[in-house]
Structure 1
Amino acid sequence: MLKQTDISAQGQAAAAKPESDAASPAAIGSEIRDLRKAKRLTIKALSEATGISIGHLSEIERGISSPSIKALHDIARALGVTIGWFLHNAEESESAERRHIVRAGNRRSLRFSSGVADELLSPNLRGQLELLMSRFPPGAVGADVPYNHTGEEAGIVLSGALEMWIGDECFLLAEGDSFAFPSTTPHRYRNPGETEAVVIWAITPPSY
């Protein structure tokens, strides 16, 4: 939903797990591939950003090769997360549930430099739909300039207020108001109020 690059992922405990963690190369590789595709990066672009060869990245994404901790850090940095993002859902012991369910205390999240925080409500990014909960502190801006991308998005304001620009039009949304628009239309948003705004977003295809 947000396109800023200065972000830090939550879940530092997961990021600190040793290389011998139960997470399999296949599970980690699929998490890397899902996030790369959601960000609409080619494997060539990721290779250029990390210095890792295209061939090795392809092997990592397919679970053929296990990435070193340094390689995982380089990939995470290029994709705007910490390695905890890839390890978070990669433990095989709970994979059956985690394919479909996200427990309230087990959400992956990103915090942007603006103070806006996104929580991923959908189990992963490999389907056609992405579900997010966004928290906007008072005065927080989702993007400095309008941006657009492939797909559609819709949502509802759970609390607070959200000022939303869609094309040349500006709308003020309050608690209970909902919205929908093609993501190809330039858009941006901010919280104009004095309390936190909480918004649920549905985006297709995923663009985290």
Structure 2
Amino acid sequence: MPPRISQSNDASPADAQPREDAIGGQIRELRKARGLTLQEVADAAGISVGYLSQIERNQSKLPIGVLKRISTALGVQINWFFHGSDVPADEKDIIVRANNRRRLTFTALGIEEELLSPNLSGPLEMLMSTIDPGADSGDYSHEGVEAGLVISGTLDLWVSGQFFRLNAGDSFSFKSTEVHRCANSGEEPTKVVWVITPPQY
């Protein structure tokens, strides 16, 4: 899966106002999934650890400007926190509708990711990557285990120096601690569904 790199947050909902009761938990969930401490995120966002802790516990107001800085520190666009506000109560934390997926675009890498699992608080995450022709994730590794299924296109995959070319319908699994890399040397976008545990988004 593509490496976890930070993105700038140029796009934001025009008139949206953050709902502190919904956003605090999302911030904590995403921070933990990325393996970041309160101190690291607070420093990157230019706020105090105490203030960030209050935000995560929904005990403090969250101005849109502060949310933008926290979003940048967590490597997501601000609209990440506004998805799912209209999810029916009986679907919350269970269902993700196709038109309500959270997205990350790594423009420099030519990779877009869509979160398919309802949240990052469970034992695993599921996402779909769209890898443009010529895109390459570069080498990386992290804790955990991951598996994937190529939905369309061709995926070039390296795991601990071994090279594999996978086509639509092929699947794979490996320990994420092994150095790995994915790329698309084909002429059409490649779509891959990934399952990672623990969540690394």
Q: TM-score interval w.r.t. the shorter chain?
A: over 0.9
Q: Say if 2:99 is the partner of 1:105.
A: yes
Change (3 A) 1:4 1:86: same
Instruction: Give the share of equivalent positions with the same residue, in percent.
Output: 47
Partner of 2:67: 72
Partner of 1:81: 76
Aligned to 1:184: 177
**Count of residue pairs brought into register by the alignment:** 200
1:119-158 equivalence runs, <5 A: 119-142=114-137, 144=138, 146-158=139-151
What SS class does the counterpart of residue 193 from structure 2 fall into? Answer: strand
SS at match of 1:140: coil
User: Match for residue 198 of structure 1?
Assistant: 191
* Inter-partner Cα distance in structure 2 for 1:9 and 1:181: 32
Contact 1:16 1:84 in 2 (8 A): no
Q: Determine helix, strand or coil for the equivalent of 1:5.
A: coil
Q: Secondary structure at the match of 1:162?
A: strand
TM-superposition CA deviations, 1:87-140 (whole Å, max 9, x none): 213x37734423211101111111112221111000111111100011111111
Alpha-carbon offset, residue 162 of structure 1: 0.6
Q: Which runs of structure 2 are paired with 1:13-28 in the superposition (5 Å)? A: 15-19=13-17, 23=19, 25-28=20-23
Aligned to 1:37: 32
SS state at 1:97 partner = coil
Name the CA shift for 1:122/1:54 in 2 (closer, same or farther; >3 Å).
Answer: same
Q: Distance in 1 between matches of 2:3 and 2:28?
A: 19
**Partner SS state of residue 135, structure 1:** strand
**Once superposed, which parts of structure 1, at least 4 consecutive aligned residues long, lie more than 4 Å away?**
none
Shift of 1:3: 2.1
Q: Matched residues in 2 for 1:164 and 1:157: separation?
A: 11
Give the distance between the partners of 2:89 and 2:83, measured in 1 at CA.
11
Answer whether contact 1:8 1:110 (CA < 8 A) is retained.
no
Q: Which amino acid aligns with 2:122?
A: G
**CA separation of 1:30 and 1:95: change in aligned 2, threshold 3 A:** farther
Aligned residue for 1:53? 48
CA contact (8 A) 1:9 1:110 kept: no
TM-score, normalised on structure 2?
0.92
Whole-Å separation in 2 of the counterparts to 1:159 and 1:130: 20
CA drift at 1:16: 2.7
- What amino acid is the match of 1:189? C
Larger proportion of helix: 1
Paired position in structure 2 for 1:5: 5
In structure 2, the residue corresponding to 1:49 is in which secondary structure?
A: helix
Q: CA deviation at 1:9?
A: 7.1
Residues 9 and 72 in structure 2, CA contact (< 8 A), matched pair in contact too: no
